[in-house]
Amino acid sequence: MSIEGHVIVVTGGTSGIGEGCTRHFAELGAKVVTSSIQQETGEALEQELRDAGHDVTFIYADMTDETQVAALVERTVDMHGRIDGACSNAGVWVEGTVEEFDDEAWDLVMGVNVRGNFLFAKHLVPVFREQGEGVLVITTSTAAYVGFPAHALYCASKSALVALIRCLTKDHAGYMRCVGICPGTIDTPMLAASAEGFDQPLEELYAEVAEKIPVKRLGQPEDVARAAAFLLSDDAGFIAGSSVFLEGGTLALPPW
């Protein structure tokens, strides 16, 4: 399995899972273009990884803005001549039932989680078609399959991606392989934000959650990064249109 020398774009690449992907892919010898709306963090990550001898470039791109998405793809091709793979990972999370959402929340979650993925795929397809190959890995979630309490908007956005992955697989067969990753509970800033409403200290809460997960720990960004590197590689060449679960066995548990 190797992505050495491959040109890989990671969105949401400067925090949590995406940062884990950026670091891991760089260590595997990929040429990584990492992107997000975290300008300073992105520049610092680029500098740190370049100082360590890796080929990493940060490009600011808000995935809800088509001009910026197009520029991300175009600048990567200008810089490296091609794109072998992309991890479409940028995402946002909100909590609430349908009664609690306003248009702003809808636009944010659907804008980043759904439209952002549409736009990225739209601008990657012509590149992959011209190259005759390319891999798109989209981060969805176990939330696409489970009705988490007070997660209607987030769950709906992640389910939409499962359908998008299937359609991309059919419509662009032969030159684009598209696969989903469905992480479970991964220790990232997004998870910490989701724990903010609880009275318990974070460590105590995480220990309780870990105890409920069959492998007895939370997932780490590296767990997802290692799976993503495999899915991007030719060794995963027969995996397409489906979504791979990384949830420590949570979905094997009985519902009560």
Ligand X SMILES: NC(=O)c1ccc[n+]([C@@H]2O[C@H](COP(=O)([O-])OP(=O)(O)OC[C@H]3O[C@@H](n4cnc5c(N)ncnc54)[C@H](O)[C@@H]3O)[C@@H](O)[C@H]2O)c1
CA distances from 245 to 100, 115, 211 (A): 30, 23, 19
Site residues for ligand X, 126-185, by CB under 6 A, read: 139, 141, 183, 185
Nearer to ligand X, 139 or 233 (CB): 139
Say which of 60, 145, 154, 175 is annotated catalytic: 154
* Rama region for 95: left / alpha / beta (φ>0; ψ in -120 to 50; rest): beta
Sole residue written with tokens 């069959």: 214
Nearer to ligand X, 91 or 248 (CB): 91
Nearer to ligand X, 88 or 169 (CB): 88
Counting Cα atoms < 13 Å in the Cβ hemisphere of 80 gives 20
Assess whether 154 carries a catalytic annotation: yes
d(CA 10, CA 194): 23
d(CA 140, CA 114): 10
Counting Cα atoms < 13 Å in the Cβ hemisphere of 77 gives 15
**Binding-residue pattern over the window 15 to 34 for ligand X, x denoting contact by CB under 6 A:** xxxx----------------
Sole residue written with tokens 């803005």: 65
Minimum distance of ligand X from residue 144's CB (angstroms): 9
**Binding-residue pattern over the window 30 to 69 for ligand X, x denoting contact by CB under 6 A:** ------xxx-----------------------xxx-----
Site residues for ligand X, 194-253, by CB under 6 A, read: none
Nearer to ligand X, 38 or 57 (CB): 38
Footprint of ligand X (CB under 6 A): 11-12, 14-18, 36-38, 62-64, 89-93, 112, 139, 141, 183, 185-186, 188-191
